[in-house]
Structure 1
Amino acid sequence: MPRIDAPTVAEHRAARERALLDAARELLTAQPDRVPTLAEVGAVAGLSRSSVYEYFRSREDLLRALVSDSFPRWQRRLDAGLAAADGPGGRLLAFLRVNLELVADGEHALARALSLVAPSDDLARESRAFHERLLLPVAEALTELGVADAETATELVNAVVHAASRRVEQTGDLERAHEAARALLAAYVDALAPGGDAA
């Protein structure tokens, strides 16, 4: 039996799988236009190619596991940020902040890389469903704020977040992009408040 580096075989396997997923994330983020080979992923994780095959049968299998691992991580961070926010306006501003932090951390680059290198129908469907789930709290917050056409407003808020995300990717300056986008969304939220200027 091979030597294990954890108290149990299950923990050992989980640690190795985590190392392989992290290695794949690192390689894909560094070169988003190509799928790394299993041997390359194994080398970064410190495992032989044959050991990698004990966890993933193919690169497609590895990519599928990476998608399943990455989307919930994004969702958990967003959920935590929204839970700490005060009121619907606060949730909109938290949505902006958390998404920009994720972009700064490289998560958005990974999601884009996955969509480029693994454009299967299944992945495209998963990606669309994931992004629709991400936007649900925005629509809910806007509805609470009394916006009549929350669907259109959600798309507009999302456009501001995407524009700010691009600025973070282009400049690496999270705070500057956040400050500019927050000023726009905060003014919108204030205008929606009772006594505000929103029509």
Structure 2
Amino acid sequence: MPRITAASVPEHREAQRRAILDATRALLTERPDVEPTFADVAARAGLGRSSIYHYFPSREDLFRAVVVDALPRWREAVTAATDAAGTPLDKVVAYADANLTLVADGEHAVISSLATFHPRAFSDPWVADMHGRLMDPLLDALRDADLDAPEVVAELVTAVVHRASALVEGGADVGVVRDAMRRLLARRP
């Protein structure tokens, strides 16, 4: 085992914290209907159960940290996809596609599980704000397309994405759902 020096303590702590977050996400992805215990997380992270308490005094603190970790990455993935698209309406399709990809990859199952197990993790003002800002790339694209009532159109696009996500999470073929969603959203007004 490598010797930990005073200079490496912050890196060691961050690596252990990251291992705990990653283990929690993996457990939630694999079994979104089962709330992981600290013993489950510790075993998955390769740490002693008591080590978890040094970073997260409660499961609610741990689950909030997973949410705080996940939302910016979700936004970055969606923003990167929309930024890479050409026209504003191509950006709308890219927004929907990126969200569906994250759902198919299990990201939404993690967030949904956390919302079910510990809804107070979402009551934090920062979390609520970040969750609300997930639609910003879509709103920007709709405004750039000079559509009437972009906020209303964004809600409708989001409804399509949510329904497509539910189909995928329910076992529908992601390719079929993605193609249908793209055809629906790619229609020009």
Distance in 2 (alpha carbons) for counterparts of 1:27 and 1:72: 20
Is 1:139 paired with 2:139?
yes
2:58 aligned partner: 58
- Residue aligned with 1:80, SS: helix
RMSD: 2.2
- Is this contact kept in 1: 2:115–2:122, CA < 8 A? no
1:21 aligned partner: 21
Shift of 1:77: 0.9
Give the greater-gyration-radius structure (CA): 1
- Residue aligned with 2:47, SS: coil
In structure 1, stretches of 5+ residues that fail to align are 192-199
Aligned 1:1-199 pairs, distance under 5 A: 3-4=3-4, 8-120=8-120, 122-123=122-123, 128-171=128-171, 173-187=173-187, 190-191=188-189
Q: TM-score, normalised by structure 1?
A: 0.85
Shift of 1:141: 1.6
Shift of 1:33: 3.8
Shift of 1:31: 3.2
How many pairs does the alignment contain?
Answer: 187
Paired residue type of 1:23? A
Change (3 A) 1:3 1:54: farther
Change (3 A) 1:124 1:175: farther
Change (3 A) 1:22 1:121: closer
Paired residue type of 1:142? L
Distance in 1 (alpha carbons) for counterparts of 2:99 and 2:149: 23
Distance in 2 (alpha carbons) for counterparts of 1:62 and 1:53: 9
Paired residue type of 1:45? A
Distance in 2 (alpha carbons) for counterparts of 1:74 and 1:50: 30
State, as a whole percentage, how many aligned pairs show the same letter.
46
Distance in 1 (alpha carbons) for counterparts of 2:128 and 2:14: 28
